Structure 1
Amino acid sequence: MNKKLIQMKKKLLYILLLPVYLLLSQSCEKRDFINGTPSPYIAIEDLRQIHKGDDVQMTAEKLSEAHMTTGVVISDYESGNSPEGVIVVQQARPGKLHGIALKVGSIASNYGLGDSILIRIQDKQLKRQGFLLIDGINASDIEVVGRASSFYRRNVTGSAIYQRPNEYESTLVKVVGGEMFPRPEAGQTFNGVKRMVNGADTLNIRTLASAPFSGMEVPRNINVQGILLGDPDKEGIMAIWPRYTTDIEDISDPEIPGDLGDMPLIFTGYCADPEGGDGNYEYIQLRANADIDFSEIPFSVVTTNNAGGNQPNAGAPPGAGWATGGMRTLKFNLTEGTVRKGEFFYVGGHQKRINGANSTQITELNWIRAIPYATSGGDGLGDANANILANSGHPSGMALFVGTNINEASVPVDLVMFGGTGTVTTIDSVNNLGYRVANNDHYSPFHRETGDAQPFFSMGTNQYRIPHFLPANIGIFVQLGGVFNTTLRKWETPRGYNGHILTKQSSASELEEGEFITQQIE
């Protein structure tokens, strides 16, 4: 091999290894593998893993010879709403974000929002006092080395928080679509501890009397952001500490006009199994029985997929019905756009294609809500999920609600269920857990002959479900048919089903034309 070629190979090897060296030498890993010596820094993620339930004295051995950690202060003493004598720092690393609380006592006011600090932690105690904290930090243990002007914050659901509390505790979070429980009375304020339900999960909102928003009246529904900590007075419950008035957003639904009438909107079709991957390509068709401006009268569509492994309540009935969230239910908020009586409109994945990837674009149709649910999750309910409408197995379906804030007791105005005949994941008649039904052509909250209550799907006569279509993964648009009287607001002919086979070249008109579409009569 000639000398020039050998030199070129050495240069190439150097170029390839240089980024690896830089990454390792600048990281907060437990060890410096380049030099073969212990690093003085430990990542907060690794620090949190040391605590196994009991207090821990953080010796050099426990810290793998490290003695410091780093973070950016996200608590704001000046805001008046931080745990007494505590500052909270979070640490961002590639693809990760973790935080820890520091018990500093009277010097908490010395450290401001955005301070980038080094913390000496060797021989301090790691404790859980509701939330995990490092106890005994003094002024000599903290060095301010810079200031951050922006902060990482994650949108999370209650379901995600309780599945991975160690990941989210002591970081900035935002929870969208919370319902205050019990329903707040007129004049009730945030001062103290208030409970908020998000999906099937409860979070506390903690507000000190010194917070500028402590006197703010509690609305029915909110989006809230702040620092997430384990609640110091309620074991197993997580609490959000808002920092500013702007951290609490009132999203309560407007009062719904009484003349809206029964079934103002109805489900008329769906594509649950487009050809290829389903994520962001599933969609639902509805038709309007009245003129609707969604900015004035909001609605929401909630889907459910009850695959046996889907959390929460895997393999069991949903803990909070349509509001369960997680991988079980996902919500689309219909808050913009308009639809005229008789028009079809659509809700679903943001790709807006008729039959999966590389098929006909159908952007010209009236899409009231289209979101990248496979990566971003739903509108305040539902984690990221590549399959919101099941292709096989347990029952799946969709429900329509007036307003965008729903809870376990919310009753839909329309409902379509499809899939297998099993009931293990859909109904628990003893504990009254399940999916509440609408009063429509196939379901009723009361037995229509005996008057007995049957509020859930799979209870009493509420057994109707459309079967899964085979073969799978070819792309089928399920047309629901039926005849609806828009004057009497009732079904003259109940909906059925027809599997219209799509191709990659199918046109948008196939969804709204033909003998099997839902008909309207006056």
Structure 2
Amino acid sequence: MKTIFNKKTIKAILLALLASVGLFHSCEDKSENYLGELSPYIALEDVRALHKGSDVQLNEETLTGASKIYGTVISDHRSGNVPDGTIILQQWKRNRLRGMAIHAGSVAADFLPGDSIVVNINNKTLTRDGFLTVTGVTTADIEKISTGNNIMGVTTTAYSMNLAPQNFEGTLVKIVGGQMYPKPETGEVFNGTKLMINGADTVGIVTLPEAEFAQTQVPRNINVTGIMLGAKDSDITKNNIFPRYSEDIVDVSDPEVPEYIGSTPIIITGFCNDPSGGDSNYEYIQLRANTDINFAEVPFSVVTSNNAGSVLHTAGWATGGAKTYKFNLTEGSVSKGDIFYVGGHQKKINGANSTDISNAKWIRTIATANDPGDGLGDKNSNIMPNSGNAGGIAVFIGTNVAEQSVPVDVIFYGGNGTASIISPDKTHGYRIANTDHYAMYIQDTGELTPFFSMGDGKNDFRFPHHGGPTNTDAGYFFQLGGQFNTTTRKWETPREHNIFILDKSSTIDMIETGDGVTKQVD
């Protein structure tokens, strides 16, 4: 049978197809339109990409047929810490958060955090004076769609922010574990731009004179939330954070350390850096307490280092990024003699599908492959190396780790490469403690030796990698056994390594008991 399609039949089919497209069209995403239409909306990320270093005139040609942007307001002029006449708009699209500043003059104060707005940017100018801004916007260009919408934010590090500022500018960010530099003087207040160090990177904390917290005293260490904006060429930093409210600045300065804590209150007794299968979220560190500790009263931190490559980590343990990763120990408690753990959140003895050891004493876990460290370190599927340059583990009193911070215990293991570990002039590197294998000075001469791997036998000790570079992924536990005197707080027998292969059914007793475990004596 022969089917004949005349013009009327074809027209009917096309109309039916168009109607079905219309039925499934989502009106929630303003960038999607019916078949054949150009959207009037353009993503903030795409507008940002138009700026190549000089001003851009925004029109239908440069905007590829679009004329409007939309998003959620995050600036709040009521608190007084927003650049004059500026609305900060952010947008969640394509599974990422992007932002933009809009200069609208006095009308900017009419828009509050959580307002959803649409802005006509046709025949406006995209310019950068420190931060990207759309200028020339008037009241008639802004349409308020709704109020009280949720505001998203992202926790990041100064390293990530300075590495890719375009991903954070104009958005609400939070940085954990910042150290104000130089050390604030008594009575010093936030008014102005203050430098904050996070890892090896620096950002500015900007407080305008009209801000409600301008006269608040600057603490030594803070967690800060605010709007990230690029700095002007004349500023002392590349990027700035504008806190919105007084509660956006949280004092996290470490408390005074009680005398009973003493020297070497915690020692490193083992680690699993290469569990069977993928390492992500399964690596862990075993430690032992030499005194009773309530971490809510006396916080500690544990930092790991992964020193792949040849780029010097100038801030040592405080480098952050992909190189060092920090766990803050701020909850729970341990008694003298307790063995406890920090590490990936899976709490398995030897990777996926192995024995659950969640009943052991865990003080801090993080989904390390998914989440950044506590103020230091980007998300990382391998926080401790399996081969190559030496990796390390350090324990600190307090949670604020800076370049000059000295640990209470430290170990290193792995190869002999030093390019990423210590500077040629021996002035920058990983600081060590006085332990069984390291000394901060040479007793006979008084020469200071504050760093790991200074050469000529000065703090060069490292345990070997497990099984050699080619024998990885077998599921090893790296046990460190010695004898520690909890009265003198000194090692009577230095730690030696005992590497043994775990299997999926291994139990916690295998790594907490036996001749290879560190022993404590009084």
The TM-score with structure 1 as length reference comes to: 0.92
Contact 1:204 1:238 in 2 (8 A): yes
How far apart are 1:424 and its partner, in Å? Answer: 1.2
Match of 1:106 in 2: 106
Match of 1:477 in 2: 477
Partner of 1:374, secondary structure, is coil
How far apart are 1:350 and its partner, in Å? Answer: 1.1
Deviations 1:205-249 (A, max 9, x none): 111121111111111111110111012342761111111111111
Contact 2:204 2:239 in 1 (8 A): yes
Residue 361 (1) aligns with residue 361 (2): no
Equivalent of residue 22 in structure 1, options 17, 20, 25: 25
Partner of 1:464, secondary structure, is coil
Residue 216 (1) aligns with residue 216 (2): yes
Partner of 2:47, secondary structure, is helix
Residue 274 (1) aligns with residue 249 (2): no
Residue 429 (1) aligns with residue 424 (2): yes
The residue identity in structure 2 corresponding to 1:455 is: P
Distance 1:377 1:296 in 2: 24
Residue 199 (1) aligns with residue 199 (2): yes
How far apart are 1:21 and its partner, in Å? Answer: 5.8
Match of 1:390 in 2: 385
Residue 466 (1) aligns with residue 471 (2): no
The residue identity in structure 2 corresponding to 1:362 is: I
The residue identity in structure 2 corresponding to 1:270 is: F
The residue identity in structure 2 corresponding to 1:513 is: T
Contact 1:44 1:100 in 2 (8 A): yes
In the superposition, relative to structure 1, how do residues 445 and 134 fare at CA in structure 2: closer, same or farther (>3 Å)?
same
Aligned-residue sequence identity (percent) comes to: 51
Contact 1:305 1:395 in 2 (8 A): yes
Contact 2:355 2:505 in 1 (8 A): yes
Residue 166 (1) aligns with residue 166 (2): yes
The residue identity in structure 1 corresponding to 2:245 is: Y
Distance 1:99 1:253 in 2: 34
Contact 1:429 1:459 in 2 (8 A): no
Residue 121 (1) aligns with residue 124 (2): no
Deviations 1:59-84 (A, max 9, x none): 32111121111121110111111001
The residue identity in structure 2 corresponding to 1:129 is: D
Contact 1:86 1:103 in 2 (8 A): yes
> 20-29 or 320-329, which moves further after superposition?
20-29
Partner of 1:322, secondary structure, is helix
How far apart are 1:27 and its partner, in Å? Answer: 4.6
How far apart are 1:373 and its partner, in Å? Answer: 1.4
Match of 1:293 in 2: 294
Match of 1:4 in 2: none
Distance 1:286 1:73 in 2: 46
Match of 2:445 in 1: 450
In the superposition, relative to structure 1, how do residues 431 and 236 fare at CA in structure 2: closer, same or farther (>3 Å)?
farther
Match of 1:152 in 2: 152
Partner of 1:209, secondary structure, is coil
Deviations 1:290-327 (A, max 9, x none): 1111111111000011122xxxxxx3121311111111
Partner of 2:448, secondary structure, is coil
The residue identity in structure 2 corresponding to 1:316 is: V
The residue identity in structure 2 corresponding to 1:260 is: I
* Match runs of 1:384-423 below 5 Å: 384-423=379-418
How far apart are 1:361 and its partner, in Å? Answer: 0.7
Distance 1:209 1:485 in 2: 56
Instruction: Number of aligned residue pairs: give it.
Output: 501
The residue identity in structure 2 corresponding to 1:307 is: A
Partner of 2:301, secondary structure, is strand
Residue 77 (1) aligns with residue 77 (2): yes
Partner of 2:481, secondary structure, is coil
Contact 1:281 1:348 in 2 (8 A): yes
Distance 1:509 1:439 in 2: 30
Partner of 1:428, secondary structure, is coil
How far apart are 1:18 and its partner, in Å? Answer: 6.1
How far apart are 1:450 and its partner, in Å? Answer: 2.8
Partner of 1:160, secondary structure, is helix
> Structure 2 unaligned runs (5+)?
1-12
How far apart are 1:19 and its partner, in Å? Answer: 11
Distance 2:205 2:28 in 1: 41
Distance 1:115 1:275 in 2: 49
In the superposition, relative to structure 1, how do residues 18 and 252 fare at CA in structure 2: closer, same or farther (>3 Å)?
farther
In the superposition, relative to structure 1, how do residues 292 and 123 fare at CA in structure 2: closer, same or farther (>3 Å)?
same
Residue 334 (1) aligns with residue 311 (2): no
Contact 1:174 1:225 in 2 (8 A): yes
In the superposition, relative to structure 1, how do residues 253 and 20 fare at CA in structure 2: closer, same or farther (>3 Å)?
farther
Contact 1:393 1:420 in 2 (8 A): yes
The residue identity in structure 2 corresponding to 1:86 is: T
> Structure 1 unaligned runs (5+)?
1-9, 309-314
The residue identity in structure 1 corresponding to 2:391 is: S
How far apart are 1:153 and its partner, in Å? Answer: 0.6
In the superposition, relative to structure 1, how do residues 259 and 235 fare at CA in structure 2: closer, same or farther (>3 Å)?
closer
